[in-house]
Amino acid sequence: VAMPERGVALPIGKGRVLREGSDVALLSFGAHLSEALAAATILEAEGMSVTVADARFAKPLDTDLIGQLHRHHRCLVTLEQGSTGGFGALVLHHLA
């Protein structure tokens, strides 16, 4: 992999969209981005249009990204390590 000579700082509290679709949004937090991309490939083979987003941060939460995913998709799925009161709970609380 080609590496830049100097790294670029991540904007704090901002996620990124890696793949754009319109039916299902997969919002990954932590170590599950590769699984989200693999799931998107499987779902697309079944005829679904899938967005994959990398949240990057749980605090502060990227409420703009979450709102956009919620408004423009029929389904929003969060992927995380599965801790009680974790990322998925934060997203659900924001949407409520």
Q: Are 24 and 73 in contact (CB under 8 A)?
A: yes
The pLDDT score that the predictor gives to residue 7 is 85
- Span 44-92, pLDDT tens digits: 999 999 999 999 999 999 999 999 999 999 999 999 987 777 899 999 9
Q: HSE-up of 50 (CA within 13 Å, CB side)? A: 19
pTM, full prediction: 0.89
Confidence of residue 16 (pLDDT cuts 50, 70, 90): very high
Instruction: Give the total residue count for the chain.
Output: 96
76: three-class secondary structure by DSSP: strand
How many whole angstroms separate alpha carbon 35 and alpha carbon 28? 9
